[in-house]
Every structure is written in C-alpha cells, then in structure tokens.
Structure 1
Amino acid sequence: MITERIALVMLDGAVPECNDDPHHTRQFYRSIQAFAEVSLKLCDEGKFKKLEQFLVVACKLFKDGNATVKNGVVNVYLFTLSNSMDRQPAARKWIEPFMPKELRMEYARLHYASGV
C-alpha cells in the first residue's frame, strides 16, 4: 500500500522532515497539486509522452494508495485536469486518450456527478 510518504517520494523524489505533519498529508496534497499543474503544462507544450508517464504514476498512486492518497489523486489531480479539460476542448482531446482506464472512470464520476 502506498502511503503519503511513499507518494511524496514518487512525486518529488524526497521527503522533507516535518514535525507538525507526521503523516506528510499536507505536503502530499501540495505535491499532488504541483504534479497536476506540471501535467497541464506538459499538455500545453505538446509533450504527450511525458504526460502519459505522469498519468501512469497517478494511476499507480490511485490503484495502490491508501485512502488519503486515492483521495488526493481524485480530488486534487483529476479535479485540476478536469477543470482544464472542461474549459479547453483541445486539452480533453490530448489528455483523455492517455488516461489509464481507472483514471478515466474516476474522471467520468467527477464529470457526471454534478448532473445527478
């Protein structure tokens, strides 16, 4: 199971020492937000092979992560991507085909939940 600490290593490559956040939850949420922003930048720059690698990492975090990590992937990473995809049809055209099916299903839940 991937914890917040392991997820930080997967996202940033290092885990800062933080005494007031023993499970590294706040740092994880900051890192996953930055990860989403970089993913959007890769899409804008047309670096789709790298974007696909980012989506694979996000999928691995989602599939193998604990509840907090899964929550971060859906509510921060996918939400950030979905905002861009909803506002810019070109972004959807470039991001959605590279999404693993698990993330595509979660994206659909996010996207269509507001219509229920």
Structure 2
Amino acid sequence: MKQVNTTLIKKMERFAEVTINSLKLGKMVRAKRCLELANDVFQKGNSEVKNAISNVYLYSVSHYLELNHFAMKQLLPIELHKEYVKQINTSGV
C-alpha cells in the first residue's frame, strides 16, 4: 500500500484555507495569486503533488466558489479549470 504524504496534504489544506479566506475578505488579487501559484505547481509538480492539489486544494476551493456563486471560468486558471471540469464530469453531477 502506498504511503500518504500527510505533510503535503496539510499544506494543501492550509493553502486552500488561505485562498478561501482571501475570497471571503474580498482580497481578489491575493486570491488570484494563490490560484495562479496552485496552477503553476499543478503544471510542474510530480503526480503526488498534482493529486494533492486536485483532491485537496481544488476540491476545497471549488466547493467554496460554487456555494458562493463565483464565476469559475473567470477565477480558475486554465489547467485548474480543466481539472475542475474533469472532477465534475467524473462525479456524475
């Protein structure tokens, strides 16, 4: 069985919290910067990092964005938006 990197998971959880708090406070420049950074790391990271961003960070942030009626296509960078669409299509929603 593969070992789960709990440190990476915790960092992605914290990064998602920072992004969501920026959105809550209306700090859109900071939120966009967080999303761009996540997108950059998603593109350049190994499979473990990509999975953590997709399954922890993007899942949490997109959930908040959906609940608060943010325009996903405008906020999410291209690669994260593609991953979000993949998640939606996989879930059957």
Class of the TM-score when normalised by the shorter of the 2 chains: 0.7 to 0.9
Bigger-Rg structure (1/2): 1
Counterpart code for 2:17: E
CA distance in 1, matches of 2:42, 2:10: 17
Q: RMSD value over aligned CA atoms?
A: 1.8
State the match for 2:51 in structure 1: 71
Indicate if the aligned counterparts of 1:62 and 1:69 stay in contact, CA closer than 8 A.
yes
Q: CA deviation at 1:73?
A: 0.5
Q: Specify the SS of the correspondent of 2:92.
A: coil
Counterpart code for 1:99: L
State the match for 2:14 in structure 1: 34
CA distance in 2, matches of 1:56, 1:86: 19
CA distance in 1, matches of 2:30, 2:79: 19
1:5-84 matches, within 5 Å, as 25-84=5-64
CA distance in 1, matches of 2:68, 2:27: 17
Q: CA deviation at 1:85?
A: 2.2
How many aligned positions are there? 90
1:109 to 62, 65, 86: 86
Indicate if the aligned counterparts of 1:82 and 1:111 stay in contact, CA closer than 8 A.
no
Q: Specify the SS of the correspondent of 1:29.
A: helix
Q: Which runs of 5+ in 1 are unaligned?
A: 1-23
Question: Percent identity of the aligned residues?
Answer: 30
Q: CA deviation at 1:96?
A: 4.3
Task: Report the TM-score, using the length of structure 2 for normalisation.
Answer: 0.86
State the match for 1:5 in structure 2: none
